[in-house]
A and B are shown apart, each in its own frame.
Chain A
Amino acid sequence: MKYTYTIMLLLFMLQLRAQDNDLMALLNDNTEDPVIYAEATFKGSRLINGHTVQTRKAKAFEFLISHRFGRLNSGAYELFGIDGANIRLGFEYGLSDRITIGLGRNSFEKTFDTFFKLKLLRQSKGRKVMPISLAYLTSAALKSLKGQEGFNTTASKLVYTHQLLIARKFSSLFSMQLMPTLVHRNQILEDQENSDVYALGVGGRLKMSQRISLNAEYYYRFDVPEADTNYNSIAVGVDIETGGHVFQLHLTNSRSMIEKGFITETSGDFFNGDVHFGFNVSRVF
């Protein structure tokens, strides 16, 4: 009988002891797992030349200044390309967390561009599992350079791009993106044959530290006509993030900073040294 009391007392003490953890266990049993969305699959709204799946948050305003200098192999006379800079000024605004709109002006061929980006799926784990993030991008570009022979109406100077951005953040260090793309030119030159160009882009980023990442991007064009002397766009770069700024420094064979330009009009051969140094500076307000 004595033992019974001892056992009961022990049981009582055990019960007291166990309560500390019990309450946390009870709390965990009574609350749902959170849905954890993959934040910042990429640091910026651009991977290098092209868009990433990232949209701006609602009411966020982004100012983007991009430069592409001339070709590195143009020699010392051109200061390895520094003399011939192209600039794009971009203004982007988050209508909602999922919709970003933007306007840009490029010094190259005095082109105006505008885009609309819609986030369709957000990668998540936890209570809701979604393996990828998906966004749809559509953009239009208007070349306003004077004296374009054969392009007499405004409509004839318009080029549209439709793109799906399919991204996955595999880990906090590594993200990848696929970009099936259609570029439609309202009016084309004879040697361009097709007004539609289909391309598939692939890109990725590898984080070197919390604030620095390595990026790469490549666009492959399908069914390129023989007369087309352009090359596929290749770019490699580094992202450096400092608080509200993202600095992107890169090397690319593309001169243009908008979809229709770098996908269908890249005239440089990357492996022949036709490489442009460039940067994007983004400030979010």
Chain B
Amino acid sequence: MKNLITAFFLLLLVGEANAQTKFFTKTGYAKFYSEAPLEDIEAINNKVQSIIDIEKSEVAINVPITAFQFENSLMQEHFNENYLESEKWPMAAFSGYFVSDGVIDINRNGVYEVRVKGKMTIHGVTKPMDTVGSIKVDNNKVVAKTSFMVKVADYDIEIPTIVFKNIAEEVEVTVELKYLPFKS
């Protein structure tokens, strides 16, 4: 009996380490969209890095700020130089977990609604974050999608009054991450 219990605990410790449940991408997509009276501003990033652990329901995301591409190059410069200060804080990050509406089976195709919770860091400021999204399993690949609003002032990003009508106080962020199995 004692041996059995010992074996059970050992399995708990060792067993899960071997299962392939982690998925990885470094070409994830993120977009931010600002809608203001004078102009709508959009920027697209195709270099989002992320690891998702399906079994443990955890996810970590890194977003290189300088990889956001604007149509107007001067806006891109101001975004990096005046607002996000990417030289000081080159990455935005998210680290947290998700709760799905059913057990995600990576061997069967399907789409799951998920609730995502964790901590998001932008411009050197870390805030709790809570949103909804979806996880799709498609032939041993995983696609995660979410979209949420970010209040610019929450992350100590100052918008001077002179461009108040050009930049929204809240911007919409859309994320789509196409993962492949992680090989360590």
Residue numbers of A with Cβ under 8 A of B are 1, 4-5, 8-9, 11-12, 15, 19-21, 23-24, 26-28, 30-31, 34, 36-40, 56-58, 60, 94, 126, 172, 210-211, 242-244, 284
Sorting the interface of chain B by its residue count into under 10, 10 to 19, 20 to 34 or 35 or more gives 35 or more
Task: State the Cβ distance, A128 to closest chain B Cβ, in Å.
Answer: 13
Task: State the Cβ distance, A218 to closest chain B Cβ, in Å.
Answer: 26
Binary contact readout B51-74 vs A (1 if CB under 8 angstroms, 0 otherwise): 101001011111010110000011
Take A20-B95, A24-B95 as given contacts and tell me if A39 and B80 are in contact as well, using a CB distance cutoff of 8 Å.
yes
Task: State the Cβ distance, B78 to closest chain A Cβ, in Å.
Answer: 8
Take A11-B13, A172-B87, A172-B88 as given contacts and tell me if A284 and B74 are in contact as well, using a CB distance cutoff of 8 Å.
yes
Please tell me which one of the listed residues A56, A60, A211 contacts residue B160 in the complex, with CB atoms under 8 A apart: A211
- 9 of the cross-chain contacts (CB-CB < 8 Å) are A15-B13, A27-B49, A30-B49, A30-B184, A37-B66, A38-B87, A60-B74, A126-B90, A210-B158
Report whether A26 and B9 are in contact in the complex, using a CB–CB cutoff of 8 Å: no
Report whether A39 and B81 are in contact in the complex, using a CB–CB cutoff of 8 Å: yes
Report whether B81 and A8 are in contact in the complex, using a CB–CB cutoff of 8 Å: no
Report whether A24 and B81 are in contact in the complex, using a CB–CB cutoff of 8 Å: no
Task: State the Cβ distance, B154 to closest chain A Cβ, in Å.
Answer: 19
Task: Determine whether B26 belongs to the interface, using a CB cutoff of 8 Å to chain A.
Answer: yes
Report whether A4 and B6 are in contact in the complex, using a CB–CB cutoff of 8 Å: yes
Report whether A5 and B9 are in contact in the complex, using a CB–CB cutoff of 8 Å: yes
Task: State the Cβ distance, A130 to closest chain B Cβ, in Å.
Answer: 14
Majority-rule SS of A interface residues = mixed
**Closest Cβ neighbor of B6 among chain A residues:** A4
Hey, which chain B residues are within 8 Å of A243, CB to CB? 78, 162-163, 166
Task: State the Cβ distance, A186 to closest chain B Cβ, in Å.
Answer: 37
Hey, which chain A residues are within 8 Å of B61, CB to CB? 27
The CA of A242 and the CA of B82, in the complex, are separated in Å by 11
Take A36-B66, A39-B81 as given contacts and tell me if A8 and B13 are in contact as well, using a CB distance cutoff of 8 Å.
yes
Report whether B90 and A12 are in contact in the complex, using a CB–CB cutoff of 8 Å: no
Hey, which chain A residues are within 8 Å of B77, CB to CB? 39-40
**Closest Cβ neighbor of A126 among chain B residues:** B90
The CA of A44 and the CA of B49, in the complex, are separated in Å by 33
Interface contacts beyond A23-B60, A34-B67, A211-B82: sample of 9 additional A-B pairs, CB < 8 Å, sorted by A? A8-B13, A12-B13, A24-B93, A31-B26, A31-B49, A34-B64, A37-B66, A172-B85, A244-B74
Task: Determine whether B108 belongs to the interface, using a CB cutoff of 8 Å to chain A.
Answer: no
Report whether A28 and B24 are in contact in the complex, using a CB–CB cutoff of 8 Å: no
The CA of A26 and the CA of B59, in the complex, are separated in Å by 11
Report whether A9 and B9 are in contact in the complex, using a CB–CB cutoff of 8 Å: yes
Task: State the Cβ distance, B143 to closest chain A Cβ, in Å.
Answer: 18
Task: State the Cβ distance, B158 to closest chain A Cβ, in Å.
Answer: 8
The CA of A177 and the CA of B50, in the complex, are separated in Å by 39
Hey, which chain B residues are within 8 Å of A58, CB to CB? 73
The CA of A197 and the CA of B76, in the complex, are separated in Å by 39
The CA of A23 and the CA of B61, in the complex, are separated in Å by 9
Hey, which chain B residues are within 8 Å of A20, CB to CB? 58, 95-97
**Closest Cβ neighbor of A29 among chain B residues:** B184
Please tell me which one of the listed residues A15, A34, A56 contacts residue B66 in the complex, with CB atoms under 8 A apart: A34
Task: Determine whether B153 belongs to the interface, using a CB cutoff of 8 Å to chain A.
Answer: no
Task: Determine whether B5 belongs to the interface, using a CB cutoff of 8 Å to chain A.
Answer: yes
Report whether B90 and A34 are in contact in the complex, using a CB–CB cutoff of 8 Å: yes
Report whether B56 and A5 are in contact in the complex, using a CB–CB cutoff of 8 Å: no
Report whether A12 and B9 are in contact in the complex, using a CB–CB cutoff of 8 Å: yes
Hey, which chain B residues are within 8 Å of A284, CB to CB? 73-74
Report whether B62 and A27 are in contact in the complex, using a CB–CB cutoff of 8 Å: yes
Hey, which chain A residues are within 8 Å of B163, CB to CB? 242-243
Hey, which chain A residues are within 8 Å of B80, CB to CB? 39-40
The CA of A60 and the CA of B76, in the complex, are separated in Å by 12
